[in-house]
């Protein structure tokens, strides 16, 4: 861990160390509140230098063959997996998630490197039949240029890897700005990219906490940056749209969600609860596709609640490096406060607390200053509650009871965002009817997992635009050029 922290104590720019900023960013362990170590607090000048390095490197990198870029991604994939446990420890320390989830995040991150190593060689152009017999028309795909990749804290490695993998596959160069709360895993990813043979200047990492907004503005307004990929809140996404407007950058925005989970009477109760455990409690509920509003049909409510309570009772809460822990801390005291506000607001407006995790596992002395919130189930969710209107981002399972299928479309779509949604039923006709009616970019039927490297990830409405992963993922990093040839004698 100490070696990792020393490695990441400066921004990696153009394959080397950027000039050190005057101030140091301090990151804390969410499970204890203790200082982990420090990273450079980058500023405007650092961001400009990183863009300059990426812009200079692009002149040559855009000419590399797809096969050579695929090879780089496979080599980086191998290095990530070889160092899986060390990186997982780093993720646990800075993010707080349980050990098994941190290991899974490294594997998940590597899957994008593997996937896009294939997509690099499948970014085909086309030939187009021309109306003029003396013409031949073809298209080619070319890299868009320098990319700014702005990654969040909840999946610090995976979200950076997903963006960088697509950019490298396309032939772009990248400036990566990880969240200030979780700088280390991404910084180590930059180091591993260099070891994998990625040329100087192709992957650049700049860290900051207090200067996050300043660096974001610098990257969004620099005309040398031609694309911005952002994962984060809808509020910040809207700001980025305004900041990039003057230079007409291409944007990929993966923003907030408010995912409904619909459990019909005919659902397999165990399977439905399995899915809710995954979609609601993975990373302590801190994912953009986390189950936020549980809509449970009246006839299955009692069985569902009993099974959900039983499962949640068996989930240990504690520090991520305790391999028995299933639920870790929230990222910050502010996050803790928000979850409690949502819980108390629901109770004050008529919801009832069905169950809350006992406090004793949360109070070992070493965790006294940790950001732990006891997993909670409330019943009686209504449309005037905060948890209905906003992402909770925490281990609060809020349940609304419905009676008829006809109610579900209106309830599920009562939000301006539309990222993920889930439904559980054994009626395939109903499953497809409801899935098609839900205002969301992704729908899980009888599963709590929506994301895979081969599947397009993205939302509709105020959840943003663009797709990450899948064969569509590379399209946001290329431009299509049409070439018209006159073959007349």
Q: Tell me the catalytic residues.
A: 254
Grouping H, G, I as helix, E, B as strand and the rest as coil, residue 257 is coil
* Cα 352 to Cα 399: distance, rounded to the nearest angstrom: 10
| Closest to 394 measured CA to CA, from 456, 301, 327, 344 | 327
Alpha-carbon distance 375 to 283, whole Å? Answer: 12
**Distance between CA atoms of 135 and 247, rounded to whole angstroms?**
34
Burial class (CB within 10 angstroms; exposed 0-12, middle 13-18, buried 19+) of 134: exposed
Residue-by-residue DSSP string for 382-407: -TTSHHHHS---SSEEEEEEE--HHH
Q: What is the CA radius of gyration of the chain?
A: 23
The candidate with the shortest Cα–Cα distance to 79, out of 160, 244, 197, 209, is 197
Inter-residue contact 150 to 214 (CB < 8 Å) = no
Strands 250-254 and 225-231: parallel
The continuous run of DSSP H or E covering 291 comes out as strand 291-297
Cβ atoms of 90 and 2 within 8 Å: the answer is no
Q: Where are the alpha helices (DSSP H) in 328-461?
A: 333-348, 386-389, 405-412, 428-437
Q: What are phi and psi of 395, to 5 degrees?
A: -85, 50
| Tokens at 287, concatenated | 């994912």
Cα gap 187→207, rounded to integer Å = 8
- Give the sign of the dihedral formed by CA 387, CA 393, CA 399, CA 400: positive
- Separation CA 331–CA 339 (nearest Å): 12
Angstrom distance (rounded) from CA 270 to CA 264? 13
Question: Cα–Cα distance between 228 and 148 in angstroms, integer?
Answer: 5
């Amino acid at each position: 861990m100490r070696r990792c922290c020393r490695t990441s104590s400066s921004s990696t720019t153009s394959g080397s160390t950027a000039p050190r900023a005057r101030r140091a960013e301090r990151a804390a362990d969410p499970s204890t509140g203790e200082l982990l170590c420090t990273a450079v607090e980058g500023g405007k000048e650092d961001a400009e230098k990183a863009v300059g390095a990426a812009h200079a490197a692009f002149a040559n990198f855009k000419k590399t063959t797809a096969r050579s870029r695929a090879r780089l991604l496979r080599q980086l994939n191998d290095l990530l997996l070889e160092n899986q446990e060390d990186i997982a420890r780093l993720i646990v320390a800075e993010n707080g998630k349980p050990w098994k989830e941190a290991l899974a995040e490294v594997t998940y991150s590597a899957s994008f490197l593997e996937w896009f190593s294939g997509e690099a060689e499948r970014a085909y152009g086309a030939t187009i039949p021309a109306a003029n017999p003396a013409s031949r028309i073809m298209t080619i795909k070319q890299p868009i240029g320098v990319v700014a990749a702005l990654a969040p804290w909840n999946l610090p490695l995976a979200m950076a890897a997903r963006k960088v993998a697509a950019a490298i596959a396309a032939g772009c160069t990248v400036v990566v700005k990880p969240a200030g709360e979780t700088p280390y895993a991404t910084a180590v990813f930059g180091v591993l990219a260099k070891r994998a043979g990625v040329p100087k200047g192709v992957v650049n990492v700049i860290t900051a906490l207090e200067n996050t907004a300043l660096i974001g503005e610098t990257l969004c307004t620099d005309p040398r940056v031609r694309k911005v990929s952002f994962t984060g809140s809808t509020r910040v996404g809207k700001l980025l749209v305004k900041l990039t407007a003057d230079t007409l950058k291409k944007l990929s925005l993966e923003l907030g969600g408010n995912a409904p989970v619909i459990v019909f009477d005919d659902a397999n109760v165990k399977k439905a609860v399995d899915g809710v455990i995954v979609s609601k409690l993975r990373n302590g509920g801190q994912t953009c596709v986390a189950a936020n509003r549980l809509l449970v049909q009246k006839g299955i409510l009692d069985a569902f609640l009993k099974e959900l309570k039983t499962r949640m009772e068996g989930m240990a809460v504690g520090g991520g490096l305790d391999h028995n822990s299933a639920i870790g801390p929230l990222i910050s005291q502010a996050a803790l406060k928000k979850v409690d506000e949502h819980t108390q607001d629901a109770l004050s407006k008529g919801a009832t607390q069905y169950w809350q995790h006992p406090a004793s596992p949360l109070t070992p002395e070493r965790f006294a200053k940790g950001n732990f919130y006891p997993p909670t189930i409330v019943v009686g969710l209504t449309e005037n509650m905060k948890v209905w209107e906003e992402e909770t981002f925490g281990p609060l399972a809020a349940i609304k009871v419905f009676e008829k299928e006809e109610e579900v479309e209106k309830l599920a779509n009562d939000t301006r965002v539309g990222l993920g949604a889930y439904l559980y039923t054994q009626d395939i006709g109903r499953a497809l009817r409801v899935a098609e009616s839900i205002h969301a970019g992704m729908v899980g039927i009888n599963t709590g997992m929506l994301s895979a490297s081969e599947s397009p990830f993205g939302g509709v409405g105020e959840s943003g635009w663009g797709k990450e992963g899948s064969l569509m993922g590379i399209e946001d990093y290329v431009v299509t050029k049409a070439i018209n040839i006159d073959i007349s004698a």
